[in-house]
């Protein structure tokens, strides 16, 4: 049975029916947070008698929400059974949409992927056809997995740009004035759909399943084709009033005449981003600089990855020089964020994170130079560990958190 049924309020309106439903929810909640427990542990934790907890656990076992993991030996020499949440009781689908590809993955309730496809071909365009294609790809992915659709509790779709997650609107891609985009996609998929900004989902993925190790105040830098930051304050994602927080890349920093993707002049992205790196590389070649890298003119959205690859795998001097210069500048402007935010941890993620020390060392040196010593000393700097899977893992974590919140708030 899908865990969906347990998330809803009880259909039994009597006081005893309500109490029983809450006890069942509390057992599942405890097993989700602790991993596993014995009847005695559940009884102590939930302050409910052993016979009552035993009855509830047996019911949850018969409905396949819970599984018996076998007997353990405890200090008194008894061998009680250990219970855990059934990994197949609920699934969560995460979709990360890029400009020329999409990644999709289905996780069970224990955060294990049962199926994942990274960087499948998909052209993100602001057209109804592109939206239909996205829905078709998600539906065929679901059909190809061994999991029944009714077992999927929800879907999170990451898009770049301005997303109002609360209301389900996207403003940069597939803008729909009268009806939330989340609702339109939900109708196509026959599943609850949540929209999320891609950087914010990546941030949450690193927090739940990535490089974060207990830190509660985090800045995640998505340094890719575009640039944005995700923020976690006191363990919670920060959205801002309408969900547009983190648009670091569109801060007007440079006094140049370069038109940004957003239509303004001199944004940070115009000199520090994947798309700026492509322009800088092309301009250097035009000026007679030599490089081992040749850009594929068909893949405009991924050319920066060829330059990153040139630095990492070919040790190409031009690629390294351009990346070092950008990363130094990135460190300088990140120091503004750090001075204001004073985080425990700064995570460098996105395509540029593949550069390792080529990007991290210049960023670190610039942070030391430009941020306040006390702020910098308080903070750890780490590289994303989720890499290309950050978006899809983040999307799964976001939808799991959202859909299980009725349980976790019991
Ligand atoms: Zn801009």
- The pLDDT value given to residue 229: 97
Nearest to 226 by CA among 204, 256, 203, 198: 198
The backbone torsions φ and ψ at residue 111, rounded to the nearest 5 degrees and listed phi first, read 65, 25
> From the CB of residue 299, how many other CB atoms can be counted at a distance below 10 Å?
11
- The pLDDT value given to residue 1: 66
> From the CB of residue 43, how many other CB atoms can be counted at a distance below 10 Å?
18
Contacts of the segment 14-18: beta carbons below 8 A, 24+ positions apart: none
Instruction: Measure the CA–CA gap between 81 and 169, rounded to whole angstroms.
Output: 47
Contact residues for 342 (Cβ-Cβ < 8 A; gap 6+): 217, 375, 378, 379
Instruction: Measure the CA–CA gap between 6 and 15, rounded to whole angstroms.
Output: 17
Q: What is the pLDDT of residues 108-155, one digit of tens each?
A: 999 999 999 999 999 999 899 999 999 999 999 999 999 999 999 999
**Between residues 217 and 178, the one the model is more confident about:** 217
For residue 228, give both structure tokens.
Answer: 């944005």
Q: How far is the CA of 31 from the centre of ligand 1 (A)?
A: 45
Q: Which residues are bridge partners to 232 per DSSP?
A: 218, 237
Q: What is the dihedral of CA 203, 260, 265, 334, to 10 degrees?
A: 30
Q: Which residues are bridge partners to 117 per DSSP?
A: 104
Q: How far is the CA of 265 from the centre of ligand 1 (A)?
A: 7
- Sorted by where each starts, the structural domains of the chain and their CATH numbers stand as 4-88 (1.10.10.10), 90-203+391-408 (3.30.420.40), 214-384 (3.30.420.40)
Q: How far is the CA of 308 from the centre of ligand 1 (A)?
A: 22
- The pLDDT value given to residue 373: 80
Q: In which region does residue 61 sit, left (phi positive, over 0), alpha (psi from -120 to 50) or beta (all else)?
A: alpha
What DSSP element (H or E) covers 144? Answer: helix 128-144
Q: How far is the CA of 245 from the centre of ligand 1 (A)?
A: 14
Q: What is the pLDDT of residues 340-392, one digit of tens each?
A: 999 999 999 999 999 989 999 999 999 999 888 877 778 899 999 998 899 99
Q: How far is the CA of 250 from the centre of ligand 1 (A)?
A: 4
- The pLDDT value given to residue 193: 97
Q: How far is the CA of 123 from the centre of ligand 1 (A)?
A: 22
Instruction: Measure the CA–CA gap between 140 and 324, rounded to whole angstroms.
Output: 42
Average pLDDT across the chain, whole number: 92
List helix spans (H) across 145-254. 181-189, 198-209
Whether the Cβ atoms of residue 394 and residue 221 lie closer than 8 Å to each other: no
Count how many Cα atoms sit within 13 Å of the Cα of residue 146 in the half-sphere of its side chain: 5
- The pLDDT value given to residue 83: 93
Q: How far is the CA of 353 from the centre of ligand 1 (A)?
A: 22
Placement of tokens 């439903």 in the chain: 21
For the purposes of burial, counting CB atoms within 10 Å of the CB of 210, is it exposed (0-12), middle (13-18) or buried (19 or more)?
buried
Q: How far is the CA of 259 from the centre of ligand 1 (A)?
A: 8
List helix spans (H) across 252-316. 274-286, 303-313
What's the angle, vertex CA 11, arms to CA 155 and CA 396, rounded to 5?
15
Q: What is the pLDDT of residues 273-306, one digit of tens each?
A: 999 999 999 999 999 999 999 998 877 778 999 9
Q: Which residues are bridge partners to 107 per DSSP?
A: 92, 113
Instruction: Measure the CA–CA gap between 320 and 315, rounded to whole angstroms.
Output: 7
Q: How far is the CA of 239 from the centre of ligand 1 (A)?
A: 19
Specify the pairing of strand 113-121 against strand 152-159. Answer: unpaired
Q: How far is the CA of 268 from the centre of ligand 1 (A)?
A: 7
Q: Which residues are bridge partners to 237 per DSSP?
A: 232
Q: What is the pLDDT of residues 321-332, one digit of tens each?
A: 999 999 999 999
């Amino acid at each position: 049975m899908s865990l969906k049924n347990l998330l809803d309020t009880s259909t039994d309106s009597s006081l005893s029916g309500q109490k029983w439903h809450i006890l069942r929810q509390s057992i599942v909640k405890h097993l989700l947070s602790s991993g596993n427990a014995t009847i005695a542990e559940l009884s102590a934790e939930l302050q409910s008698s052993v016979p009552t907890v035993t009855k509830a656990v047996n019911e949850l076992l018969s409905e396949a929400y819970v599984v018996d993991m076998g007997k353990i030996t405890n200090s008194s020499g008894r061998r009680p059974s250990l219970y855990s949440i059934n990994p197949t009781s609920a699934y969560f689908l995460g979709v990360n949409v890029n400009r020329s590809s999409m990644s999709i993955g289905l996780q069970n309730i224990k955060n294990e992927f049962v199926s994942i496809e990274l960087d499948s071909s998909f052209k993100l365009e602001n057209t109804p056809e592109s939206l239909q294609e996205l829905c078709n790809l998600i539906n065929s992915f679901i059909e190809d997995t061994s999991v029944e659709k009714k077992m999927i509790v929800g879907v999170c779709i990451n898009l770049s740009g301005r997303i109002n997650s609360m209301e389900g609107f996207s403003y940069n891609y597939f803008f729909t004035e009268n009806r939330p985009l989340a609702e339109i996609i939900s109708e196509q998929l026959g599943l609850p759909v949540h929209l999320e900004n891609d950087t914010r989902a990546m941030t949450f993925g690193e927090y739940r399943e990535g490089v974060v190790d207990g830190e509660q105040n985090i800045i995640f830098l998505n340094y890719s084709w575009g640039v944005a930051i995700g923020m976690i304050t006191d363990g919670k994602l920060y959205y801002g009033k309408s969900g547009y927080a983190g648009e670091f890349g569109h801060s007007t920093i440079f006094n140049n005449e370069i038109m940004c993707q957003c239509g303004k002049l001199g944004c940070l992205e115009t000199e520090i981003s994947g798309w700026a790196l492509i322009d800088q590389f092309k301009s250097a070649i035009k000026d007679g600089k030599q490089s081992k890298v040749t850009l594929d003119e068909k893949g405009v959205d991924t050319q920066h990855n060829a330059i990153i690859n040139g630095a990492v795998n070919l040790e190409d001097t031009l690629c390294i020089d351009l990346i070092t210069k950008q990363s130094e500048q990135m460190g300088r402007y990140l120091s503004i964020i750090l001075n204001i935010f004073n985080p425990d941890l700064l995570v460098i993620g996105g395509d540029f994170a593949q550069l390792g020390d080529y990007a991290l060392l210049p960023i670190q040196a610039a942070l030391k130079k430009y941020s306040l010593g006390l702020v910098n000393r308080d903070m750890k700097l780490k590289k994303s560990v989720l890499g290309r899977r950050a978006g899809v893992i983040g999307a799964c974590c976001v939808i799991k958190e959202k859909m299980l919140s009725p349980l976790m708030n019991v």
